[in-house]
Amino acid sequence: MFPWTPDGPPSAIAAVRDVSLSKVVLDDILGLILRGELEPGSRINEPDVAERLGVSRVPVREALRQLESTGLVVSRKNVGVFVRELAPREVAELYELRAVLDGHAGARAAALAEAPRRALTRVLDAATLAMRKAARRGDLPAYYAENLRFHWAIVEAAGNGKLSEAYRGIVQQLHLWRLKNLSQPVGMAASIAEHDAIAKAVREGDPSRAGRLLADHVGAAHQRLQPHLQEEKPS
């Protein structure tokens, strides 16, 4: 799901681990979260998961540790593990910060020399095409994975390790809200049009326009999310 997670195991032993019970459990819980069957604030009950999947609690704990490292869940000492929940104010602050980082990264990426900029735009075009195909299928997880790939390619192209680290943390906290945003009828269509414009600005080597479009894209996404933030204020 996350583009900064290695795709393949480095050895045969790691390959065995890759298909281990903890990965089966992780995929199952992740699927429940992505489909909205586990909503923000929901407690994930280890014994229930273990019993439902017919495994011990050891792989369940390992899966939850991995999910916590992505920012999708949070562990509360002596209470349990919960799907991460953010207050509307926190979401607004994270979107504001993400707009700054995305805009800066976009300007840096569009200012690259021609060869690396062309290589980047090939990645952006491929991600946008994959998003369009996923949208036609109504495949939200696939769409979102390509959406992440698009933005992460730009962030990496900026060549600033601290920026990448900060951006990764923000994106992981916003994961569930961005999925909710894209799941709305207007979400994917509007997002694709905005990604097309961003890729064009990068391709044409226009730092000012690329930075502005990326910042505006993040701001527009937050605006589309506003009604849902108001509906789901935590009690």
Question: Whole-prediction pTM value?
Answer: 0.74
Q: How are the residues of the chain apportioned to helix, strand and coil, as percentages rounded to the nearest 5?
A: 75, 5, 20
* Amino acid of residue 112: L
The strand pairing partners of 137, in sequence order, are: none
- Say yes or no: 27 and 138 in one domain: no
Joined together, the tokens standing for residue 101 give 């980082």
6 in any annotated domain: no
Task: Report the number of distinct structural domains present in the chain.
Answer: 2
Tell me the residue range of the domain where 24 lies.
Answer: 12-83
Spell out a b/e string for 192-227, using b for 16 or more CB atoms within 10 Å of the CB, else e: bebbebbbbbbbebbbebbbbbbbbbbbebbebbee
- Say yes or no: 222 and 112 in one domain: yes
2 in any annotated domain: no
pLDDT of residue 18: 43
Query: Domain end: 83, 118, 139, which one?
Result: 83
Q: What is the pLDDT along the chain (235 residues), one digit of tens a residue?
A: 567 655 544 444 444 444 588 888 988 888 787 667 888 889 999 999 999 999 999 999 999 998 888 778 899 988 999 998 878 888 899 999 999 999 999 999 999 999 999 999 999 999 999 999 998 988 877 888 899 999 999 999 999 999 999 998 888 778 777 766 666 666 788 889 999 999 999 999 999 999 999 999 999 988 887 776 655 544 3
Q: By C-alpha distance, which of 183, 227, 185 is closest to 88?
A: 227
- Say yes or no: 71 and 155 in one domain: no
Query: Domain end: 48, 83, 118, which one?
Result: 83
Torsion sign over Cα 64, 69, 74, 75:
positive
Query: Domain end: 83, 108, 137, which one?
Result: 83
4 in any annotated domain: no
38 in any annotated domain: yes
Widest pairwise Cα distance in the chain: 55
CA distances to 55, 116, 131, 199 from 150, rounded to whole Å, are 36, 15, 10, 9
123 in any annotated domain: yes
- Say yes or no: 65 and 101 in one domain: no
